[in-house]
Amino acid sequence: MRAFIPPRLPPNPPVELAGLYQHLDRANQALGRLDGLTTLLPDTKFFLYLYIQKEALLSSQIEGTQSSFSDLL
Residue 45 pLDDT exceeds 90: no
pTM greater than 0.85: no
Q: Return the closest-CA partner of residue 73 out of 61, 59, 57.
A: 57
Residue 68: what pLDDT?
Answer: 66
Residue 48: what pLDDT?
Answer: 84
Name the residue type at position 6. P
What is 35-71 written as a DSSP string?
HHHHTT-S-HHHHHHHHHHHHHHHHHHHTT----HHH
Spell out the domain ranges in the chain. Answer: 18-72
Separation CA 40–CA 59 (nearest Å): 29
**CA-CA-CA-CA torsion sign (21, 27, 29, 32):** negative
